[in-house]
């Protein structure tokens, strides 16, 4: 949610932000609604103040004067009821449109329409040249008996899979490595709820607008959803709270399964485990004070953690600055990490690092009291440290050997009992 005072003072900035982010929201129409809403709100407040004044005066009246006052109060009651109903309608619309207004992109965000216009910032690692015919992760997974997509589809439908044997062990090793990396960096680890209320989805900016991507649980109050990222429960952990400045920053990491419907992606990235309904993530969440320089330092730090994870996995990657047209509503700065995937012969997105400033905190009513006693909205950030099974695509493909085995990166071996490679069952 944006700062309405700033919107009223500089509407042209938000009109431009909506244009750059390719979001269909009429800022000028909202400002007219805002003016009408505030005017009617003042009118209703004046009518209620008049009601209170009449109530007090009524106690000392009698006879004809009392009858006149009762008549006046009846008329006031009718006016308050009528205008109050109009105000409620306006307020509902006023609040609804506010939730659609985008935040302002940071000055370093480039213009562009979509991911093709993102700007590469740096690369790490060398793209290998293999001297033998490559197998993709699906063939490797089948030959090694560690990924079973056919039975996953049989049991749970499209975009589902089983990890088994060393595949399941490998995934857990990756998650453990990420957890240990973040623990050593000072993060508090969370095993969060996988089911959240609408308020948490709205508070973190996923609703309204992202409902079709979420799995909605059919429960009595109709307001429960499976999380698509542990960012949702972890960022909402301090919802409706006022922290002290001395508590900040909060460095949190959520470890959880995640669930996405992938609505609208039929026929897109359907091969293997690139785009699936269920996956696991270790997600970084930072809550800090309202300071842009400090927020930028945290952005660079959580981006570095994700890069360090890929370096430990010995996977080439590139970091790109995301253009305005490829950013979400609340993001003010975003970097994507794309990891080289040999079977696709291109980089594939594996991480997104996002800075929100106070956008999420306003929705979540997440605040802090500074040293002068003033209450401010916090700033929030998040970034994936690792997500699997997508990372298994480059890991298996990059580390495959000519004999059909897959080398386990050295950083993972201690989590797999010293095992150095995954071999086919018949070997």
Q: Which residues contact 20 (CB under 8 A, 6 or more apart)?
A: 105, 111, 324, 325
User: 10 Å Cβ neighbour count for 260?
Assistant: 20
Which residues make beta-bridge pairs with 190? 254
Q: Which residues contact 103 (CB under 8 A, 6 or more apart)?
A: 2, 17, 329, 330, 331, 332, 356, 357, 359
* Cα 51 from chain centroid (whole Å): 46
Q: Give dist(CA 343, CA 399) in Å, integer.
A: 12
Q: Is 15 helix (H, G, I), strand (E, B) or coil?
A: helix
Residues designated catalytic: 260, 275, 349, 352, 390
CATH topology of domain 4-98: Helix Hairpins (1.10.287)
CATH number of 115-422: 3.30.930.10
Q: Are 179 and 415 in contact (CB under 8 A)?
A: no
Q: Specify the long-range contacts of residues 159-165, CB closer than 8 Å, at least 24 apart.
A: 159/262, 159/270, 159/275, 159/276, 159/277, 160/276, 160/277, 160/278, 161/273, 161/276, 161/389, 163/389
User: Residue-wise over 412-421: b if at least 16 C-beta within 10 A, else e?
Assistant: beebbeebee
Asked whether the whole model's pTM tops 0.85, one would answer yes
Q: Are 413 and 192 in contact (CB under 8 A)?
A: no
Enter the tokens of residue 312.
């430990």
Please provide the distance, in angstroms rounded to a whole number, between the alpha carbons at the two ends of the chain: 57
Q: Are 236 and 120 in contact (CB under 8 A)?
A: no
Q: Are 200 and 229 in contact (CB under 8 A)?
A: no
The label of the residue with tokens 């300071």 reads 291
Which residues make beta-bridge pairs with 115? none
| DSSP assigned state of 400 | B
Q: Are 380 and 328 in contact (CB under 8 A)?
A: no
pLDDT of the chain, 427 residues: tens digit per residue: 899 999 999 999 999 999 999 999 999 999 999 999 999 999 999 999 998 999 898 888 888 888 888 988 999 999 999 999 999 999 999 999 999 999 999 999 999 999 999 999 999 999 999 999 999 999 999 999 999 999 999 999 999 999 999 999 999 999 999 999 999 999 999 999 999 999 999 999 999 999 999 999 987 777 999 999 999 999 999 999 999 999 999 999 999 999 999 876 666 677 899 999 999 999 999 999 999 999 999 999 999 999 999 999 999 999 999 999 999 999 999 999 999 999 999 999 999 999 999 999 999 999 999 999 999 999 999 999 999 999 999 999 999 999 999 999 999 999 999 999 999 997 5
Q: Are 152 and 167 in contact (CB under 8 A)?
A: no
Q: Are 409 and 313 in contact (CB under 8 A)?
A: yes
Domain map (residue ranges) of the chain: 4-98, 115-422
């Amino acid at each position: 949610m944006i700062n309405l005072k700033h919107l009223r003072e500089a509407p042209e900035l938000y009109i431009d932000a909506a244009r750059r982010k390719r979001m269909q929201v009429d800022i000028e129409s909202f400002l007219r609604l805002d003016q009408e809403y505030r005017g009617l709100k003042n009118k209703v407040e004046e009518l209620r103040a008049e009601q209170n004044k009449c109530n007090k005066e009524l106690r000392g009246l009698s006879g004809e004067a009392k009858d006149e006052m009762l008549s006046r109060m009846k008329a006031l009651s009718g006016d308050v009821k009528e205008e109050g109903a109009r105000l409620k309608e306006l307020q509902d619309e006023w609040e609804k449109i506010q939730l659609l207004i985008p935040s302002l992109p940071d000055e370093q965000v480039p213009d562009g329409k979509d991911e093709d216009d993102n700007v590469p910032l740096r690369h790490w690692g060398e793209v290998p040249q293999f001297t033998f015919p490559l197998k993709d992760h699906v063939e490797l997974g089948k030959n090694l008996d560690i990924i079973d997509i056919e039975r996953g589809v049989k049991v749970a439908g499209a975009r589902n899979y089983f990890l088994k044997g060393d595949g399941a062990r490998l995934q857990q090793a990756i998650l453990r490595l990420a957890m240990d990396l973040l623990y050593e960096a000072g993060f508090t680890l969370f095993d969060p709820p996988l089911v959240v209320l609408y308020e948490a989805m709205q508070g973190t900016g996923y609703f309204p607008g992202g409902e079709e991507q979420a799995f909605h649980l059919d429960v009595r109050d109709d307001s429960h959803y499976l999380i698509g990222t542990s960012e949702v429960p972890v960022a909402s952990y301090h919802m409706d709270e006022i922290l002290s400045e001395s508590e900040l920053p909060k460095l949190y990491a959520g470890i959880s399964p995640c669930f996405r419907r992938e609505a609208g992606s039929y026929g897109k990235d359907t091969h293997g485990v690139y785009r699936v309904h269920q996956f696991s993530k270790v997600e970084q969440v930072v809550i800090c004070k309202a300071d842009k320089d400090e927020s930028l330092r945290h952005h660079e730090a959580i981006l570095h953690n994700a890069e360090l994870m890929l370096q430990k996995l010995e996977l080439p990657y590139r970091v790109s600055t995301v253009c305005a047209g490829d950013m979400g509503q609340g993001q003010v700065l975003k970097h994507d990490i794309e990891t080289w995937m040999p079977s696709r012969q291109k980089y594939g997105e594996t991480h997104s690092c996002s800075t929100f400033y106070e956008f999420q905190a306003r929705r979540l009513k997440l605040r802090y009291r500074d040293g002068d006693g003033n209450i401010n909205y916090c700033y929030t950030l998040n970034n994936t440290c690792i997500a699997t099974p997508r990372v298994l695509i480059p890991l298996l493909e990059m580390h495959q050997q000519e004999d059909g085995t897959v080398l386990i990166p050295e950083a993972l071996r201690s989590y797999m009992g010293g095992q150095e490679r995954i071999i086919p069952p018949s070997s």
